[in-house]
Amino acid sequence: MASTAVQLLGFFLGLLGFVGTVVATLLPHWRSTAYVGSNIITTTAYMKGLWMECVWHSTGIYQCELYRSLLALPRDLQAARALMVLSCVTSVLASLVSVMGMKCTRFARDSTIKSPLVLSGGICFLCAGLLCLITVSWTTNDVIMDFYDPFLPSGMKYEIGLAVYLGYASTVMTEKRYGTDQNSQLNTSQIEYL
């Protein structure tokens, strides 16, 4: 019973991490305008995401424009898009495999395949979390390097946006999912040997 509860907890942590990854992928808040030096004009704020750029005006108008061409984008943005989409797809695959291997489902009941299925789902969640972590860490590094570049004008400097922090949080949730799978496997193997 405790092992089933741990599996359910881990599955819902994985789903929460998946939802966070999808939301972070879609939000345009990966980079936001930095107000440094003499650039303290707050009538407009610029935000850049993986799929669009947005401008927020102090009058309350919020305008977004999708990136028109994939080939015109910088390579780091193309790679970030690909890694985040791969993370989302891997999370979906991990969810499906994990559901089939959980003790509370009827798939392959009383079979020895359930335990490897849950482990495979956990490994897929681990891979999805690592893909997301690579992307948000890479973006964080780029933003920080550009921010401290003395040759870049202060009006072109950006800060880390909220979507990056959401990406870090969803990575933690996804990695916790793998940890609960390992805990569940250890508890099951200890009970079987006793």
- Alpha carbons within 13 angstroms on the beta-carbon side of residue 52 total 11
Sheet holding 31-33, edge to edge: 62-66, 52-57, 44-48, 31-33, 158-160
pLDDT at 192 over 60: no
pTM score, whole prediction? 0.85
The better pLDDT of the pair 116, 25 is held by: 25
Q: How many Cα atoms sit within 13 Å of 84 on the Cβ side?
A: 30
Instruction: Give 131-188 pLDDT, tens digit per residue.
Output: 999 999 999 999 999 999 989 887 788 999 999 999 999 999 988 876 666 555 555 5
In this prediction, residue 88 carries a pLDDT of 96
> Which residue type occupies 5?
A
pLDDT at residue 107 greater than cutoff 90: no
Distance CA(38)–CA(32), nearest Å, equals 17
Specify the DSSP class assigned to residue 51.
Answer: S
| Top-level class of domain 2-27+73-150+160-193 | mainly alpha
| Most confident residue range from 47-51, 66-70, 171-175 | 47-51
| pLDDT of 86 above 90 | yes
Q: Residue 130 CA to chain centroid, in angstroms?
A: 9
Per-residue pLDDT, 37 = 67
- The proportion of the chain whose per-residue pLDDT surpasses 70, expressed as a percent, equals 87
Q: Which residue has the higher pLDDT, 96 or 194?
A: 96
Contact 33, 46 (CB under 8 A): yes
* Mean pLDDT taken over the chain: 85
| Residue 32 CA from chain centroid, whole number | 18
Q: pLDDT-based confidence at 89, cuts 50/70/90?
A: very high
* Radius of gyration for the alpha carbons in the chain, expressed in angstroms and rounded: 21
Domain boundaries, the chain: 2-27+73-150+160-193
Query: Residue 2's pLDDT is what?
Result: 53
pLDDT-based confidence at residue 194 (cuts at 50, 70, 90) = very low
- pLDDT at 193 (0 to 100): 40
AA letter at 163:
A
Task: Say yes or no to pLDDT of 189 above 70.
Answer: no
